[in-house]
Amino acid sequence: MSSTAERLAELIKTSRSAVFFGGAGVSTESGIPDFRSEDGLFRAQSAYGRSPEELVSSAVFLREPELFFRYYKENLVAQGAKPNPAHLALAKMEAAGMLGAVITQNVDGLHQAAGSENVFELHGSNHRPYCVSCGQRYSLDYILNPENCRGALPVCRECGGTVRPDVVLYGEGLDDGTVRGAVAAISAAELLIVGGTSLSVYPAAGFLSYFSGPHLALINKTRGPLDDRAELALHEPIGEVLGQIARILGL
């Protein structure tokens, strides 16, 4: 049990307001690949001849929807994925009153599946698709079912419009309400825990500029641009670290 993990557990226990800000690395331990990783880039270029960012852009969605949905269904949806120890530990901390909010760049819904309630999904969610024409909401299963699709395109049973995932595509803006909530949580935090992200994706990475609290902790397998600024930096698997911290806290 490292002294750094023990120190972070103490900060979580004593801080009046703690917030977690996470990225793709939180979910890779649930078997969900990071589509921006080197492997993800290679797969996209090999199979589609495009970069991942282009394939999940608003331009491709509008102009080449068949291509968009083929890539989306094959690469951005991980059916059967379950919360890992990181998700579960964060949910326990929130339930114990030790964590005020989770801010995530992921769209997989695993924080909610683990039991977290105050979650700000900066890039939206796979789990609330909607019709672009009439606004009718659907489940993720609906758009994955070939019976509800014309080719690869999910079709609204009410009006026949296209049903798209409620995720923020490249070229689209973040949801205003989600942004306001995330900024308010970060601004009020005494302790900000950043995990599973390289802090290289904007505008999400820019949210850290709103943090002015005394304690910044980083959990990431590799070093990042904020390591020298952080009070604590742990370069270990995030599920292992947060699971260990939950045990220290008796959760």
Kindly indicate the confidence band of residue 32, based on its pLDDT and cuts at 50, 70 and 90: confident
> Is CATH 3.40.50.1220 the right assignment for the domain spanning 1-32+83-123+169-251?
yes
| pTM, entire model | 0.91
| pLDDT tens figures, 135-158 | 999 999 999 999 999 999 999 999
| pLDDT tens figures, 170-226 | 999 999 999 999 999 999 999 999 999 877 667 777 899 999 999 999 999 888 777
The domain locations on the chain are: 1-32+83-123+169-251, 34-77, 127-167
Three-state SS for 162? strand
Whole-number Cα distances in Å, 158 to 76, 137, 152, 162, 216? 26, 10, 18, 11, 48
The CATH number of the domain covering residues in 127-167: 3.30.1600.10
| pLDDT tens figures, 43-75 | 666 677 788 889 999 999 999 999 999 999 988
The active-site residue, picked from 87, 111, 123, 127, is: 123
pLDDT of the residue at 198? 76
Q: Is residue 123 among the annotated active site residues?
A: yes
Closest CA to 81 of 111, 104, 108: 108
Q: What are phi and psi of 197, to 5 degrees?
A: -145, 145
| pLDDT tens figures, 73-105 | 988 888 889 999 999 999 999 999 999 999 999
| 143/130 Cα distance (integer angstroms) | 10
Asked whether the predicted pLDDT for residue 21 surpasses 50, the reply is yes
Of 115-129, 172-186, 196-210, 236-250, the range with the lowest mean pLDDT is: 196-210
Closest CA to 137 of 126, 145, 147: 126
| CA dihedral of residues 114, 117, 122, 123 (deg, nearest 10) | 50
Let me know: does 157 contact 148? Beta carbons within 8 Å. yes
Please return the burial class of 101, using the count of CB atoms within 10 Å of its CB with bins 0-12, 13-18 and 19+.
Answer: buried
pLDDT of the residue at 38? 46
Greatest alpha-carbon pair distance for the chain in Å reads 59
Q: What are phi and psi of 20, to 5 degrees?
A: -110, 130
Let me know: does 9 contact 249? Beta carbons within 8 Å. yes
Q: Which amino acid is at 52?
A: P
Please return the burial class of 174, using the count of CB atoms within 10 Å of its CB with bins 0-12, 13-18 and 19+.
Answer: middle
Percent of the chain at pLDDT above 90?
76
Percent of the chain at pLDDT above 70?
93
Kindly indicate the confidence band of residue 126, based on its pLDDT and cuts at 50, 70 and 90: very high
Let me know: does 108 contact 126? Beta carbons within 8 Å. yes
pLDDT of the residue at 41? 52
Q: Which amino acid is at 64?
A: E
